[in-house]
Structures are given as C-alpha cells and as structure tokens.
Structure 1
C-alpha cells in the first residue's frame, strides 16, 4: 500500500531520490527547509512531485497521472497568479512559492512561468 508521507516525515524523501530522473525541489525561507518527494512507481505517480506545506499536500503533475478525484483541479504549467495569492517566503533558486487563502493550490513563480500545483485530497493513497 502506498501512502503519501506526512509533513513531519519529509526526511524519508531521501529514499525516493534514487528512483527519480530529476531531483525534487528543495525550498527554504531562511529558517525552514521543505523538500518535494516523488510518488511511487507501483502507484503510477513516479513523475508526480508532492510538496507538503502548512498541513496540506500539493502535486506537480504535468503528465496528469493523479486521479481527478484525488486533486483540487489540475496542474497548470502556464497559470495566472491569483490576486489573493501571498508570497510564502520559500525559495528554490529563482523560484518563489505562493499560497492562496483556501489552500486549493500553491503557485510556483519565476521569470519564465507560473505553475499551479493543485491540493491533494487528505485521504489520497494507493494500494
């Protein structure tokens, strides 16, 4: 059974790195560090990067591998940053991490693009 790791277990993400073709993003706000993790191959989410932030989980899923009932909307590689979005203070290189008040998504913003990572349902998992 595959279950997504809670925010407190992000250190376990190291075991996922060897199976991924690219490294997950590492974010820092000067005092905290959070790291994305990739899903499991047997769950068919090995190309989905998950990120835990403020008690919610979000998914970068450009290949649309996630079941539609497991996420709030879809991943968008060319999104518009909502007016209500606020800067979380987290950075990964030139990328900025933005949040919306309803936690339906996070937005990854840099000079080239704005990505929308939808929220993952709290009970999402695979067998």
Structure 2
C-alpha cells in the first residue's frame, strides 16, 4: 500500500510539474533522428519553412536513417526551390556515410572565435555559422556544441 501511494504521488507530482524540460545536449534532439517533417525551426517569431531549413533522418531505404541531414536554403534565409539553392550538412555518429564525410563530425566542438548565431532555433537548439569554417555548421544547446560537416550536393543512394 505504501509503495502504491509513493507511485501515485510521483505521478501527480510529475503531472503538476508542467511540461518536460528541453534537451540539454545537441544529441538529445536527434536521438533517434526524426523523419520528415523533422524538427520545427523558427527565426525570431517566424516558423521556418522546411525548404528554408530542415533537419530530418536520412532515408531508411538507403540504411541512412541513423544519420541526420540538415538542409539550409543558401544563401542563408533562401526558401530553396531546388537542391542547387541549398546546402546539405550531415550528423553521422554511426558511420553510414563515407569516411571523408564522417570524419568532419565533432560532438565535443568549440565554437570558432568568429562564429555567429544565425537566429535559427528549435526550442533551445541554435544554429551557428563561422566564416573561418565555411564547410561546417555548428549546433549548440547551452554549452554543448557539435560541428556538422558539409556534404557535396551529389550524395545519392541507389
């Protein structure tokens, strides 16, 4: 009976505590990766269209679904109507992409001195760019930072 009371109090306390806290590390937003439509991104008070910025799991039929693909309309802020107007970045901690792409992921990165906050957000997740590192983006939650490498536009699977 006492154990039941403790369990009920824990449930009631949890229900009264409000919404769950936001993830405190970048990887928490992508474990597991979310399929389309991916995370909801904003810039200021505006919800961002998925053709402007999107993070989604890689295609399952290619066995890339453990990786996250980040599409950004380029230049930044562009609502891309084709892949030629976008850049692609990859988070691949399990190594499903070729080695040259995988090696650019840094899960314990530091922001370069010239990094700037783009204003893009998904809850507490922030997107940063650094002119000194044009082949990467930086994703940040508080003090946790990851560096994601840029992929060539020609990545396709059969």
Partner of 1:37: 56
Question: Equivalent residues in 2 for 1:55-66 (5 A)?
Answer: 55-66=86-97
Contact 2:33-2:56 at 8 Å conserved across structures? no
Gaps of 5+ in 2: 1-30, 75-85
Q: Aligned to 1:115, which of 141, 146, 151?
A: 146
Contact 2:106-2:148 at 8 Å conserved across structures? yes
Q: Aligned to 2:107, which of 70, 77, 80?
A: 77
**Whose RCO is larger (CA < 8 A, sep 6+)?**
1
Separation (CA, whole Å) in 2 of partners of 1:110 and 1:65: 25
Separation (CA, whole Å) in 1 of partners of 2:126 and 2:118: 8
> Shift of the alpha carbon at 1:57?
0.7
SS at match of 1:119: strand
User: Which of the pair has more CA radius of gyration?
Assistant: 2
Report the aligned-residue RMSD: 2.2
Q: Which has the higher strand share?
A: 1
SS at match of 1:26: coil
Partner of 1:26: 40
1:103 aligns with 2:103: no
Structure 1 segments, 4+ long, off by >3 Å, are none
Contact 2:95-2:102 at 8 Å conserved across structures? no
Superposition TM-score, scaled by structure 2 size: 0.59
Q: Which has the higher helix share?
A: 2
